[in-house]
Structure 1
């Protein structure tokens, strides 16, 4: 039996580290692991923490969606993963987790686990451009340079696109430049772009005005992908204005929700979320996607003060990561 610890949203705008017993055994196709690090999604988890779009009946609830685990036990049918291996897992912020072996993949034991865990974020936006027909011969625009947008812009640039990255926050712009992004600015007008000159615009901000500001620069029959979750109304923009511009620009508009791709590849569909994350991990290891200086490690016991700071936009780095090696128990 292990003593487990979980980060729980116990009520709206309150996060606590809760202790419980963990005495589970893996099913035949499962693994059990001890969490080394778990990354925080500033967008999705802030939405859950603040209660955007939900009711108080949603609480208490677990949170978190990307960990590096050290495997402790494996089920009888698991042959390619062994105790002592490190794996990436789509599990929550817990000291001990269980997962299907089909939903994890090996990561190098000698590679920093906090960097390996970041492979979750490029995969979020990879769904958007895997759906797009726009090729690297055209330019793209990325709006919002939080951790998802930062990884999106890097991914697109690595794949050969000319990427125009926009965010009003100067700290985010500095981070983007330090990651090697070539065209970074606080506003679209800084780039002196011609109207209708972008093939694909990807919004990672969820901001009404930001989305509307990109549309005049997308060419006719171009693509607009909405990756950032529109948790709440952020402006007085009317639906009529948005729809009018979409209509007369003949735009293809689609959701960038990552789970619109299957979790695993199939015979006739090689693209999947697991493949996106494995590919992103390889690019991070190769330093094709830069991760130095973009995250900060925290003790999970600090969750009660960390989530309010994230919601208030007070973090110095784009990404916060729980380091379970720091847990004081």
Structure 2
């Protein structure tokens, strides 16, 4: 059996490559991809060579990291998963993936793949929120209502039960999505945010102006978490950081993907699908290369792209 992978060979040069899938190791499972996603904030800078965290890109480079699929074969040492199970995993834009059993997140049969795919980034957002650990009565400001920002708002409301959440987002469509998730005030620009008002802030935009805004908007000794990838602007500390003795933390990856998924899937069942509207564009896998071209040229600008196999 062959595996087809979308590989970046140079700046804006994507090609499908093919290789034979080797026999499974004891703890591995073979997953047939049903759906995937393009995480634009992370993948587009790599495609365009604009990622400031990667000054000298190395090629060839595999692409993507969000997958939903069905297990079609298991290794002899696999203990829990079996053929026919649906899972979320992270192996990129491929029609088949080989992963270790412990890296596959089981998905209940009644959860649609458009919801299931978001559990990975939802867990990444949750980790940053949990590090700050705001209380129900604390005031929280979130900058940037891209995928990470909206998932952050979702976790703040649905898991932490924070009552007062404000957001900064210039895009009216994204502000509307944030409103549907239950935020309080929606600011179109950082210049109108109140100063010395919030107990916690989360930066999800990747923009230095938003990072500056958070430092001025937080109260004394407040906490700030950077959840954006940091691949757009260089962040710098403002006088308020020292004057207010602010605490800044970073957050990468999720806290526990399987445990988070248990809560997330149950919340989807209980509250309905609030998040699959993030997929503003749906394509087939044969359209992936053209989609990256369109994204790179600015012809399309969705929050997130759902890829069906």
For 1:174-323, list aligned pairs within 5 A.
174-188=176-190, 193=194, 195-233=195-233, 239=236, 242-258=237-253, 261=255, 272-287=256-271, 290-295=274-279, 296-311=281-296, 314-315=299-300, 317-323=302-308
Distance in 1 separating the partners of 2:260 and 2:45: 24
Q: Which runs of 5+ in 1 are unaligned?
A: 262-271, 325-329
Q: TM-score, normalised by structure 2?
A: 0.89
Which residue does 1:8 correspond to in 2?
A: 7
Distance in 1 separating the partners of 2:219 and 2:273: 28
Maintained 8 Å contact 1:29/1:101: yes
Using the TM superposition, give the Cα deviation of residue 14 of structure 1 relative to its aligned residue in structure 2, in angstroms.
2.5
Give the counterpart of 2:18 among 4, 10, 20: 20
Q: TM-score, normalised by structure 1?
A: 0.84
Distance in 1 separating the partners of 2:39 and 2:238: 30
Q: Relative to structure 1, is the Cα distance of residues 314 and 288 closer, same or farther in structure 2, using a 3 angstrom cutoff?
A: farther
Using the TM superposition, give the Cα deviation of residue 99 of structure 1 relative to its aligned residue in structure 2, in angstroms.
0.7
Distance in 2 separating the partners of 1:87 and 1:151: 20
Which residue does 1:160 correspond to in 2?
A: 161
Using the TM superposition, give the Cα deviation of residue 9 of structure 1 relative to its aligned residue in structure 2, in angstroms.
1.3
Provide the secondary structure at the position in 1 that maps to 2:282: strand
Count, aligned residues: 304
Distance in 1 separating the partners of 2:165 and 2:272: 15
For 1:24-103, list aligned pairs within 5 A.
24-51=22-49, 52-53=51-52, 54=54, 57-103=57-103
Q: Which runs of 5+ in 2 are unaligned?
A: none
Provide the secondary structure at the position in 2 that maps to 1:124: helix
1:109-153 per-residue CA deviation (whole Å, 9 max, x = no partner) reads 232112211112221211111111432220111110111111111
Q: Which stretch has the larger CA shift, 27-36 or 176-185?
A: 176-185
1:187-213 per-residue CA deviation (whole Å, 9 max, x = no partner) reads 35657x4x3221110010110011101
Using the TM superposition, give the Cα deviation of residue 100 of structure 1 relative to its aligned residue in structure 2, in angstroms.
0.7
Using the TM superposition, give the Cα deviation of residue 94 of structure 1 relative to its aligned residue in structure 2, in angstroms.
0.4
Distance in 1 separating the partners of 2:139 and 2:41: 26
Q: CA RMSD in A?
A: 2.3
Q: Which stretch has the larger CA shift, 42-51 or 306-315?
A: 306-315
Q: Relative to structure 1, is the Cα distance of residues 57 and 209 closer, same or farther in structure 2, using a 3 angstrom cutoff?
A: closer
